[in-house]
Amino acid sequence: MSFDASLVTRLAPSPTGAQHLGNARTYLITWLLARQRGGRVVLRIEDIDSPRVKPGAAEQAQDDLRWLGLDWDDGPIVQSQRLALYESALAQLQARELVYPCTCTRSDVEQAASAPHAEGVEPVYPGTCAFRRAADAEALRDRPFAWRFRLSEPATFTDRFRGAVTLSREEIGGDFVVWKSQRSPAYQLSVVVDDAANGVTCVVRGDDLVASTPRQLALYSALRLPPPEFAHVPLVVGPDGRRLAKRHGDTRLSALRSAGIAPETVIGLLSWSCGWQDRIEPIAARDLIRHFALARIPPKPFVLTPELLETIGYRG
């Protein structure tokens, strides 16, 4: 594996809840990629989703990472302290008429969207407010509105893990929100501003975010910033095939830790799930650096069963 000291990646926990085994797997992959190449790791706390941010969760996430044996070279960079940067990015998009004020409520969008959409999936924005110019926001002062980005880019990119990815406008969701009505930046904008400002060259994250990537690439281009590479890795799911959640037992890292499970045991399970070890046996994160291979990770989600948890001596 070649050395690439210019590689910069990041760990970006959202302190909206506890970090669990699913988060840990993505963090491990991200960290190993950087450490194997001799690159850098930035820690960023994505805490601008304020109503859902839990007190103490950012500190807990850092404790969890340290416990796993994962470190970082820069940060923590805290998004809630960087609002001025996001505001200036929004101002650039406004000046170029790349965003417009949108007064639609969630239910307006749902009703206007022609295609049926699955539960939990955002409906495609039908363009109701796309006729507006940025300056029209002045006249909307007393009405809540969001800023939406005019999506026109073709949505194809090469994923370092998945290969060529092409998504339709429907799959991307059409024009998307970059600034929420509560005077706060949306994830799509803050993540692009920060990944660029933090010099991130390779974003590794869960594949639930694949559909966000074309939106973010469109923002890189609109803001004239160089885009990073992306590697979207499979998530951890429960036996029912759904994303790891409370109903699958307590898989919080803090719970495993209080139950006396060693971090090497957790890393051993994750390493086996990624195809780097043939058996589930304890190993420290740093000892995995030479075994790491992105291409060896199975493309399907990792199904975490109660039996596997029992194998590591845990009855969540």
Q: Which residues bind Zn ion (CB under 5 A)?
A: 102, 104, 128-129
Selection from ligand GLU, Zn ion, none that 205 binds (CB < 5 to 8 A by kind) is: ligand GLU
Q: Does 274 contact ligand GLU by CB under 6 A?
A: no
Burial class from Cβ neighbours inside 10 Å (0-12, 13-18, 19+) for residue 31 reads buried
Q: Does 191 contact ligand GLU by CB under 6 A?
A: yes
300: annotated active-site residue: no
Selection from ligand GLU, Zn ion, none that 112 binds (CB < 5 to 8 A by kind) is: none
Closest to Zn ion by CB, 93 vs 266, is 93
The residue written with tokens 């979207």 in the block is 232
- Contacts for 135 with CB less than 8 Å, ≥ 6 apart: none
Closest to ligand GLU by CB, 61 vs 104, is 61
Whether 134 and 100 have beta carbons less than 8 Å apart is answered as: yes
Whether 301 and 237 have beta carbons less than 8 Å apart is answered as: yes
Closest to ligand GLU by CB, 47 vs 134, is 47
Task: Using DSSP bridges, classify how beta strands 229-233 and 236-237 pair: parallel, antiparallel or unpaired.
Answer: unpaired
Q: Does 46 contact ligand GLU by CB under 6 A?
A: yes
Rounded distance between C-alpha atoms, residue 154 and residue 260, angstroms: 50
Beta carbon of residue 104, minimum distance to Zn ion (angstroms, whole number): 3
Q: From 9-17, 59-67, 169-177, 242-250, give the range in contact with ligand GLU by CB under 6 A.
A: 9-17
Q: From 12-20, 71-79, 115-123, 267-275, give the range in contact with ligand GLU by CB under 6 A.
A: 12-20
Name which of 259, 255, 236 is nearest 305 in CA terms: 236
Rounded distance between C-alpha atoms, residue 238 and residue 34, angstroms: 28
Rule CB under 6 A: choose which of 20, 35, 205, 252 binds ligand GLU: 205
Closest to ligand GLU by CB, 73 vs 208, is 208
Selection from ligand GLU, Zn ion, none that 191 binds (CB < 5 to 8 A by kind) is: ligand GLU
- Other Cβ atoms closer than 10 A to 139: 10
Vertex 80: Cα angle to 192 and 85 (nearest 5) = 50
Whether 127 and 175 have beta carbons less than 8 Å apart is answered as: yes
Residues near ligand GLU (CB under 6 A) are: 12-14, 46, 191, 205, 209
Question: Which residues have a catalytic role annotated?
Answer: 246
